[in-house]
Structure 1
Amino acid sequence: MHSSLHDVLITPAEMAAIDLAAAQSGIDSFLLMRRAGLAVAAAVLRLFPQAQRYVVLCGPGNNGGDGYVAASALAECGANVAVFAFGDPAAALSGDADRARQLWDGAIDPLASLVPHLGDVVVDALFGAGLSRDLPEQVVQVIERINAKGVPVIAVDLPSGVDGRTGQIRRAAFAASHTITFMARKPGHLLLPGRSLSGALDVVDIGIPARIVQAQGGGWRLNTPALWSDQASRLDASTHKFRRGHLVVFSGGAQATGAARLSAAAGLAAGAGLVTVASPKSALDINAAQLTAVMLREIDDRQDLEHWLRDTRLGAFVLGPGFGVGDRACDFALQLCDRALVLDADGITSFQERRSELFERLAVAAGRVVMTPHEGEFARLFPEIARDEKLSKIEKAQAAARISHATIVYKGADTVIAGADGKVAVNANAPPSLATAGSGDVLAGIVGAHLAQGMPAFEAAAAGVWRHGAAGARAGPGLTAETLVTSIPPLG
């Protein structure tokens, strides 16, 4: 893969436009197909050199053409190759794919006749990333037969049955051990459940210039430090605690203080110079008994907050973890919309019936606001978007950011970060062990620390999600929210 494309995500529609633009620029399209097929064959031989039979499944489009090239290359190496096609390949194929078929000089059997055996390795070149409809019954049966047998599957572009735009399963899908795709990742490689079905992913450069790929791409990215490293604050000898930012985390009542303290501890560990827990009077003693480096301030009502906000050194705020659902959360949040704010958990749910008020306030406010909903909270705040099954998780996050005028962190194993300006990043470094109590509170604190240090909202959120995932990997299996805090890696 070209280094400049390492973080790029390309939709299937964009990839089709890239292929067309490459051909119009004078690049031989069959040469690109040949390079793709040869890359697949090389990967198959490298990964499974002892296979008794290589079973190549060819579909009715260019993905099938890649399969025919791979089959020819495998046969030329002396391998035992069997080709099975969906439909009538002589009638269904045209252009480069038909040319590739004609260069295959072996038998082509009907897909339905395939009986997988132990010792087989399956090369899935049926549909690839362009699939956007449900699979026909015949293909579903073959996929289920192969998955049940447990033989290795190497997918060409994307496991057949996975929608390349949404990552959703179209009735059935191969569970691939490896996937070979070309030029750049597709959303279906990162969005669940597609990500869990793709296995190990190899992105192969087949010779399309990076400028063509970048010109046709819509700007979606894999979340890596390259997205936000330029915005990360660098400490120098003159740095003091106020320059590193003052983060405020709001605590709930006496029975719900732990979540705020976790966020506060994470904010301090993530780099905020000062962190204060803003606590109602009823919880002051409980919080005071548990805090050391984190400061404490009594904030009971809207008037207390309004008075405190005159202090311009307060850099960012986290509202929601353990705070309680209700009008008090809404009133506090609306006061903070023109500051840097992470609205999380109860803070989000509190606006279920007051969404328009929040969105209208954010539309005119000058703050940097990040909202961090999990799936249930997202459905409560954006019900119409959540119900739209035509949208991918990326597109849902984008739509939510657009109507709310905030940066959205749509949480999950495939967290999507979407900015109000259209920026998108999909995260892929989070281990399953992050699904534990308090993990989201830690994330809110990390993002809050970034905002307190002056990072723009999108970059603060993307960096927070990435560091949260990296902390989970450092903490290892069996992590708790407390060990997660101590495992947060450096920002710079």
Structure 2
Amino acid sequence: MTHELLSPAQMSEADRLATDAGPFDGIGLMRNAGAAVAAVVLARYPQATRVHVLCGPGNNGGDGYVIARFLAASGVDTAVWASGSPRPGTDAALAAAECPVKARPLSNFVAETGSLVVDALYGAGLSKPLSGDDAKAVDVVTAMRLPVVAVDLPSGVSGVSGEMLGKAFRAEITVTFARKKPGHLLLPGREQCGETALADIGIGDGIIALLGVATFENAPALWLREFPVPAVDAHKYKRGHVGVFSGGPGATGAARLSAMAAARSGAGAVTVLSPANAMQTNAAHLTSIMLREAGSLEEVQEFLAARHPESLVFGPGLGPKPKVGDFALRLIAALADGALPPPSNHRSAIVLDADAITSLAHQPEAFFEAARQQGAPALVMTPHEGEFGRLFPDIAADKNLSKLAKARAASAQANAVIVYKGADTVIAAPDGTAAINANGAPWLATAGSGDVLSGIIAGLLAQGMPPFEAACAGVWIHAEAGSRFGPGLIAEDLPLALVPVLRELFDARKAAE
């Protein structure tokens, strides 16, 4: 696997383990890294009149000296600018000694139009803002709009959070090693990286396996083995049943979007649970989606006992009202305490979205207690930034936490899989496993898009995907469909846009068997 994401600390540990295991020592890995970046520079920028390599005093700078050596040996006009000297006896010092290009002080840095900059100052391990000559170099490069190739991560971007720590280089290409870091995928770091290329420098999969990595890039390789493939003898209820709660007569569209997405994602049966005063409105718009009156908890319990749905969607279009939160708590309690007759008292799953999240924010402790009780249904929550801040205000306000860390903390507190939405959606499970999505598309920023996402996740849950994998798959599929559709996308387009994406995943899943 190459979809693990390593923190800077884990990357340092991988370097140590790899040098202990061999065959490469520290300078060997550094030479491999520098050669990989130099190869990218030569292949991508043959027109560059000159290459300026900016070297820091640590290992990232050591990579820079190797890059400069390879470029000079290839006949490239190369200049090296140093921000401090490597510590004597280190691999970086050895790399500097092997470099035939004499380093000049970064304080004197100047560049020419048409030249290229290789940023080898600090990489992913930087934990404080750039200052002094380093910051001035960013200003020069930015003002001249010079193309930048970043080594590991653009200097000034946190490898942990993707945050800009002040000024930072904006790269066209970032070359990183062994595995990506969270800062390559979390915003704004992802934009600062440009294209991220992953280079093999001799740190094998066996070394990565020793690190106990729990953070991943969200891609089919992460969850494809759990992607549902219906059996030959499947009937509609074997393929899973989803119940979607509808709002009142003026707010029924969100539930129908969720319901259609659940059906498109493969659920064999989908029922919209409607209050009495919205039955006529919903009936006028539904065909393959079933409809049932369920305006009270008793009516919902009758549906659960009769139809045994594997998953529910609760929230879209219900209104941000305390009584919606009350209903959610009663629903969780009913599924948790075995009040429903067998076989309805199995561990169902609920996708809590939109107004459900805001409504539960009126009584967060009661919700967290309900979610943690014995036998509680599996919960998947899909908050955007505002909803997350309302339900988890202390976590959201903590400036020391990255988006990844916030999602993990919220997941542990709510005992739920958290889908912290955005262009860099983070999916986190209560056990600490997390994934960062990277295929988001701006076309998804449209009303109703989130309702579709909830339906996709619920449909996958109903077909037996575990909650974390269903959430990850739903996020990726939703983004992929939006990206492929492109400009002009509205939420109503999304359910049908899922079809080619699902077909490719189905074929890939079958091929992997």
- Please give the TM-score of this superposition, normalised by the length of structure 2: 0.92
Q: 1:205 maps to which residue?
A: 200
Whether the aligned pair in 1 keeps the contact of 2:106 and 2:137 (CA below 8 Å) is yes
For residues 175 and 19 of structure 1, the distance between their equivalents in structure 2, rounded to whole angstroms, comes to 26
Residues 173-322 of structure 1 aligned to structure 2 (within 5 Å): 173-322=168-317
Identify the match of residue 483 of structure 1 among 489, 493, 503.
Answer: 493
Alignment of 1:7 onto 2:3: yes
For residues 79 and 89 of structure 2, the distance between their equivalents in structure 1, rounded to whole angstroms, comes to 22
Report how far residue 232 of structure 1 moved: 1.9
Residues 332-343 of structure 1 aligned to structure 2 (within 5 Å): 332-337=327-332, 338=335, 339-343=348-352
Say which SS state the counterpart of residue 477 (structure 2) adopts.
helix
The CA deviation string for residues 279-304 of structure 1, in whole angstroms up to 9 with x for no partner, is 11121111111111111111112222
Report how far residue 350 of structure 1 moved: 0.4
Whether the aligned pair in 1 keeps the contact of 2:322 and 2:362 (CA below 8 Å) is no
Say which SS state the counterpart of residue 172 (structure 1) adopts.
coil
The CA deviation string for residues 75-105 of structure 1, in whole angstroms up to 9 with x for no partner, is 1111100111113x16x56500011111122
Identify the match of residue 167 of structure 1 among 135, 143, 162.
Answer: 162
For residues 220 and 465 of structure 1, the distance between their equivalents in structure 2, rounded to whole angstroms, comes to 16
Q: 1:358 maps to which residue?
A: 367
For residues 478 and 155 of structure 2, the distance between their equivalents in structure 1, rounded to whole angstroms, comes to 32
Alignment of 1:25 onto 2:21: yes
Report how far residue 150 of structure 1 moved: 1.1
Q: Which portions of structure 1, spanning 4 or more consecutive aligned residues, are displaced by more than 6 angstroms? A: none
- The letter for the 2-side match of 1:343 is L
Whether the aligned pair in 2 keeps the contact of 1:242 and 1:313 (CA below 8 Å) is no
The CA deviation string for residues 201-240 of structure 1, in whole angstroms up to 9 with x for no partner, is 1111101222112212422111112222222221132111
Identify the match of residue 429 of structure 1 among 419, 426, 439.
Answer: 439
**Greater CA drift, 341-350 or 143-152:** 143-152
Q: 2:344 maps to which residue?
A: none
Q: 2:379 maps to which residue?
A: 369
Report how far residue 477 of structure 1 moved: 1.9
- The letter for the 2-side match of 1:84 is W
Unaligned runs of 5+ in 1: none
Identify the match of residue 112 of structure 2 among 112, 117, 128.
Answer: 117
Say which SS state the counterpart of residue 362 (structure 2) adopts.
coil
- The letter for the 2-side match of 1:32 is L
Whether the aligned pair in 2 keeps the contact of 1:260 and 1:277 (CA below 8 Å) is yes
- The letter for the 2-side match of 1:378 is F
For residues 396 and 151 of structure 2, the distance between their equivalents in structure 1, rounded to whole angstroms, comes to 31
Say which SS state the counterpart of residue 30 (structure 2) adopts.
helix
Whether the aligned pair in 1 keeps the contact of 2:325 and 2:362 (CA below 8 Å) is no
- The letter for the 2-side match of 1:56 is V
- The letter for the 1-side match of 2:362 is E
- The letter for the 2-side match of 1:383 is P
Whether the aligned pair in 2 keeps the contact of 1:14 and 1:217 (CA below 8 Å) is no
Say which SS state the counterpart of residue 497 (structure 2) adopts.
coil
Identity of matched residues, % = 50
Identify the match of residue 42 of structure 1 among 15, 39, 51.
Answer: 39
- Please give the TM-score of this superposition, normalised by the length of structure 1: 0.96
Alignment of 1:442 onto 2:438: no
Whether the aligned pair in 2 keeps the contact of 1:61 and 1:93 (CA below 8 Å) is no
Alignment of 1:345 onto 2:341: no
For residues 323 and 267 of structure 2, the distance between their equivalents in structure 1, rounded to whole angstroms, comes to 26
Report how far residue 312 of structure 1 moved: 4.9
Q: 2:54 maps to which residue?
A: 57
For residues 72 and 480 of structure 1, the distance between their equivalents in structure 2, rounded to whole angstroms, comes to 52
Alignment of 1:454 onto 2:464: yes
For residues 376 and 405 of structure 1, the distance between their equivalents in structure 2, rounded to whole angstroms, comes to 20
Identify the match of residue 329 of structure 1 among 317, 324, 330.
Answer: 324
